[in-house]
Amino acid sequence: VQLVESGGGSVQPGGSLNLSCAASGDVDNGLWMAWFRQGPGKEREGVAFMSRGGTRHYADSVKGRFTISRGKDKTAMHLEMNSLEPEDTAMYYCAADETFGGHWPPREDDFAYWGRGTQVTVS
């Protein structure tokens, strides 16, 4: 499985960005997909994921500002980010796995596949 993120960039506080992740390869069995981020000097943390039933889970720091969605064919995932704050500055990663299970918070080792990340800078 290969994951490619896009949509990062630099914005002013209060601005918006939309991130996307495209999965390819062996995706026929279905994938759990999640967004993580790692800010400067910080550990990687789970930002959001959507369960197979459609329930959305978010980190407390982004609730009400970020919205996760999946494409109809389930190989794409998006993250709409509004009211961005300097604290949101981070490398954002798309992660995927066949057997994650859906607990919160997600851990890095729950996911076998990772994209290279897309940088989001808010300043």
- Write out the chain's pLDDT in tens, 123 residues: 999 999 999 999 999 999 999 999 988 777 889 999 999 999 999 999 987 778 899 999 999 999 999 988 788 999 999 999 999 999 999 999 988 888 999 999 999 999 999 999 999
What contacts 81, CB < 8 A, 6 or more positions away?
Answer: 16, 17, 18, 19, 62, 65, 66, 88, 120
**Measuring CA to CA, how many Å separate 22 from each of 2, 105, 117, 122?**
8, 23, 12, 24
